Amino acid sequence: MSLSRLLAGFVRQHWPAYAAAAAMLTGVALISIWIPRQIGAMIDGLAAHTLDAHGLMKQLGLLLLLGVGNYLLRARWRMTLYAVAYQLGVQLRTRFYARLTRQGPAFYQNQSTGDLMALATNDIDAIEMTAGEAMLAGFDGALTLVTVLGIMMLGVDWRLACIALLPFPLMGWAFWHISNHIHTASADSLKRFAALNGHVQETLSGVRTLRALGLEQRSAKQFSELAAHAQKASLSAQVWEAAYEPAVGLTLTAATGLTLGLGGYLVWQGELTIGALTSFSMYLGQLIWPMFAAGWVLSLIERGRAAYARLQPMLDAPLAIADQGKIEQAPKGDLLLDGVTYAYPGQAANVHALHDIRLRLKPGQTLGLVGATGSGKSTLLRVLLRQLTPQRGHVQWGSHALSDYTLRTLRSAISWVPQESFLFSASIADNIALAKPGATRAEIEHAAALAAIHDDILLFPQGYDTEVGEKGIALSGGQRQRVAIARALLANNALLLLDDALSAVDTGTETRILEHLEALRVAGHQTGADRSAIIASHRLSAVVHADQIIVLRDGRIVETGNHAELLLLDGWYASQWRYQQLEASIEAS
């Protein structure tokens, strides 16, 4: 969809507001052309001694009323049109945000956060200006131009109007040339701003790393260079926009010179009155606004086109995961993976992150996923979350494939705690209650106790009302993980996924959390609310009590069984267990 089609559809949607603005603008135009004509008649009346003092005061009073009416109409129609134009910005931002929230990780691997933020702010602002300021100036300028030219030709003197229009084709050529340069300069300016925005976002996110490595000056130098490039690109666009004014000025100067020359001759010959020449000169002055409006409109349109050319691919980008499911009932039953195979884009044909994975998880059971780094544990969890779609095989939950459920239904049935837990800039209580906004303080504290973070929270001066800062910067890595676990436990969903979510806690705390999880599982089984769990971990102690443990290597299942069975196999699991037990004993001593 082009920008013109977008704006046309928006205008059709909000046509009453645009029609009201157009009606008020028409009133402004009529008043604007009436005032010079009235002034010309007053001058001719004074020159002919046909207008006395009383009549003059009445005429001046009428002019004052017309001026006040003109002001009120201009103010009102601007308010009406801008109020509608801002709705386009809201619609685009809402649509853009909704699109971003539905995109999968693959989309964000190819996008810069700073660029996306620039699109949501600077670029949409430019499109919004096209729907508001550009249409305002365009309609106002066009209406003024038509009415003023009409009164100049039909109401004053057609000869003066024709000679005054002679320089205008040159101005049209200048406008076309300038607008082409503005489009290029505006596109470059938006890109430079996005690059600057991206650098600032990355710097603020990694400020601790920059300080630790002593890279502050290097980062500041990069910022200065990006800021200079952005300033230069913005200045280039402004320079070309400023070129409209000289083109308008030269055109109107030439038109005024030609008009005064011919008009003076016609007055000398008695074919034109001084009042008529004065009115014509005032009308000619009123053409200044349509000319400036034309330049301003072209500038805004080119900025809007450049911005929409950047925004449209994001709005039209296909979703990484198609949400075509129809089932909205929570899934129940066994979780089955049958021949699941997945390869990341760009990998060699014989390299798979997952290869022919076959397993079954019954309700209420706990599955352990272990293996070396890069063995496919996180990839398997992302397949269950439908962040990734396997190339072969299928995943079934209950009697339906995962793809048969809507994404909202599926993900509302799963609590996921990644290794890099994300906390929002809010209080600890708000972060825990994110999955259950209506949770009571007692429920929040209970979930925190299960995640072994309750006692830590009470040590903070403000307790659960402590603000964690952006990305939970006020908490340690282990505390962030436990807050995220508490959030997942509070949701109380049917399936709990822990993706190495205990890596930042000590073994004692890990044991307490796992005991609480086991108690929850047993309690749920007794009440009929079976709750399954899949625990992916580098620490084998985290999966010791799992009903089933799977060992992955290069995306393949190489060992399977419970803890005791895997020790008897004396394979990777057994050797890794002995190593970790030895390491733990050395640390304890």
CATH of domain 321-413+536-589: 3.40.50.300
Examine the pLDDT at 272 and tell me if it is beyond 80: no
Q: Measured between alpha carbons, how far is 88 from 99 in angstroms, rounded to an integer?
A: 16
d(CA 514, CA 524): 15
Quote the pLDDT of residue 123. 81
CATH of 3-316, one of 3.40.50.2300, 3.40.190.290, 3.30.1370.100, 1.20.1560.10: 1.20.1560.10
- Rounded Cα distance, 386 and 407, in Å: 8
- Residue bearing the bigger pLDDT, 517 or 260: 517
Task: Name the residue ranges covered by the structural domains of the chain.
Answer: 3-316, 321-413+536-589
State mean pLDDT over 461-480: 80
Q: In what order do the strands lie in the sheet with 532-536?
A: 414-417, 495-499, 532-536, 366-371, 548-553, 556-561
pLDDT by residue (tens digit) across 155-182?
A: 666 676 666 677 777 776 777 777 777 7
Edge-to-edge strand ranges of the sheet holding 354-361? 354-361, 335-342, 392-397, 400-401
Structure tokens at 163: 């000679």
Two tokens, residue 543: 């999966």
Q: Hey, which of 495-509, 518-532, 555-569 has the most confident mean pLDDT?
A: 555-569
- Average the pLDDT over 302-326 and give the result: 80
Give 21's pLDDT tier (boundaries 50, 70, 90): confident
The token duo for 165 is: 């229009």
The tokens describing 209, both together, are 């790393």
Give the span between the Cα atoms of 105 and 136, in whole angstroms. 41
Q: What is the pLDDT of residues 552-572, one digit of tens each?
A: 998 899 999 998 989 998 889
For the record, the structure tokens of 169 come out as 């084709």
Residues 382-408 pLDDT 10s: 889 888 888 888 899 988 888 888 888
**Which tokens is 522 given?**
């047993």
DSSP assignment of 15-71 equals HHHHHHHHHHHHHHHHHHHHHHHHHHHHHHHHHTT---HHHHHHHHHHHHHHHHHHH
